[in-house]
Amino acid sequence: MGAVESDDNTAETFRRNFDGEVIEKDIRNVPSFEMWDDADVVVGGPPCQGFSNLNKTSTEALSDERNELWRHFLRAVEDIDPDVFLIENVSRFLKSREGARAVKIAEELGYTIVVDTLWAHDYGVPQKRKRGFVLGSKLGVPFFPEETDEETRTVRDAFGSLPHEPSEENWHVSRKRVTELSKRRFQEVPPGGNRFDLPKELMPDCWKNKERGGTDLFSRLWWNLPSVTIRTEFYKPEKGRYLHPEANRSITIREGARLQTFPDDFEFVGARTRVAPQIGNAVPPKLAYHLGRAIKSHLEGKKSRINPEAETEHDIFKKSFRIGKQKQSQLATFSS
C-alpha cells in the first residue's frame, strides 16, 4: 500500500493507521509512480474546493488550479496501470468540463468507466453527504454498491452516548476560544433552529437585513436525523449546522469524526484545526467500506447490472449503468 499526501499531519495520520509508504509531497512534484506498478487498485480524491457548491462560479466557468489535479491522478493511473481506479469528488465535478475530460482520458487509457453520485446516509453513515465517483476498470464493466437495508442512522446514533460536556479526551474537544457574545447566541438557537432565530441585537450586521440565504448557518443539528455534510471547519457554527442538538456549543472533533464513521481508536495527528480538515475531507469510512466491497466483488468476477442502452438527459454522460433497489441511476459512460 502506498499514498501521496502533501500535508504533513495527514501523511503522519496515514502512517499511524495503515501499513504503507507515504510520499509526503505535492503530487505535481512526483515524477513517476512506477514503484507501485504491482497495485491492482488506485483510489484518490483530488481537492474538491474548486468544484464545491460553496464556490458560486458557474460550473462551466470554473477556474481553479486545484481543478487540474485530477490530471496528475490519471498520470498515476497511467504509470501504475491498475485493474481498477476510483476518483471521489463533489458531485459538481461530474457536471464539469474537467469531469468529462477525466472520463475521456481514462477511456483512452483502456478503461470502461461508470460514474455516479452516492449519498452517504444510504450506506449506514449518519450524514446527508452527496459525492460524485468515477470508477474505471480494465476487467469489464465495474459497478457501485447498492444502498444498504439498514435504517438511516441519526446524530443520536452517532454520538448520543457521549457526554454533553466535552471530556477533553480522545478528541472530545470543542472550540477553545468562544466569546461571550457567541455564548449568548448559542442560547438563543432552539432545537433545529438557525441564525434567523437570533434576536436582532445579537445578529452580526451582515445578517440583520438579509432575510434570505443559507438556513444552515449558525444552526443546530437534529437528534433524530442524519447530520448535514461535515466539512473542514465543522467546529465553527457560523460555517454551517454544527451546533450540538442540545448543548450550547459547536460539535467536538470526536463528534464530527463519529458523524463521518471514524472509529474511536483511529489515531489522528495534529492540532485541532489540522485534524478537522482530515475528517471533513475524508470519504466516510463506512461508505469507503461498501465501495471497497463492490470493487473486490468486481475483481473476483461478479457481473455488473449495467443497462447500457438506457437513455438519460444528463449533459455529459448519456448511458445509465446502476440499477439500485428503488431507482435507476442517471449517469454513466462518457459521450463526446
The crossing angle, in degrees rounded to 10, of helices 97-108 and 70-80 is 10
**Cα(first)–Cα(last) distance of the chain, in Å?**
35
C-alpha closest to that of 117 among 105, 101, 98, 99: 99
| Domain count of the fold of the chain | 1
The three cell numbers of residue 272 are 485541532
Tell me if 127 is assigned to some domain: yes
The residue whose grid cell reads 469524526 is: 257
H-type alpha helices, the chain: 8-17, 70-80, 97-108, 155-159, 180-188, 205-208, 253-259, 272-280, 285-299
CB 247 within 8 A of CB 165: yes
pLDDT at 313: 42
The residue whose grid cell reads 505535481 is: 28
Phi, psi torsion values for 102, nearest 5 degrees: -60, -45
Rounded Cα distance between 249 and 259, Å, is: 16
Enzyme catalytic residues: 48
Tell me if 271 is assigned to some domain: no
Q: Coil, strand, or helix at residue 106?
A: helix
CB 276 within 8 A of CB 235: yes
CATH of residue 43's domain is 3.40.50.150
Rounded Cα distance between 180 and 186, Å, is: 10
Tell me if 273 is assigned to some domain: no
Phi, psi torsion values for 311, nearest 5 degrees: -100, 145
Rounded Cα distance between 3 and 25, Å, is: 10
pLDDT at 219: 95
Tell me if 259 is assigned to some domain: no
Rounded Cα distance between 193 and 219, Å, is: 6
pLDDT along the chain (336 residues), means of 10: 95 96 95 95 82 49 63 96 96 86 91 89 97 92 90 98 96 91 95 92 83 77 97 94 96 98 98 96 97 96 71 44 39 35
pLDDT at 328: 38
Report CA-CA distances (Å) from 207 to 72, 194, 197, 249: 41, 12, 11, 20
CB 95 within 8 A of CB 132: no
Write out 263-332 in H/E/C secondary structure.
CCCCCCCCCHHHHHHHHHCCCCHHHHHHHHHHHHHHHCCCCCCCCCCCECCCCCECECCCECCCCECCCC
Tell me if 77 is assigned to some domain: yes
pLDDT at 99: 86
pLDDT at 306: 65
C-alpha closest to that of 259 among 270, 244, 271: 244
Q: Coil, strand, or helix at residue 26?
A: coil
pLDDT at 157: 98
Edge-to-edge strand list for the sheet holding 41-44: 41-44, 84-90, 130-137, 112-119
pLDDT at 243: 97
Tell me if 76 is assigned to some domain: yes
In this structure, the number of other CB atoms found within 10 A of the CB of residue 66 comes to 12
C-alpha closest to that of 98 among 34, 40, 150, 46: 46
Q: Coil, strand, or helix at residue 135?
A: strand
Domain range for residue 40?
2-149+284-299
Tell me if 34 is assigned to some domain: yes
Tell me if 260 is assigned to some domain: no
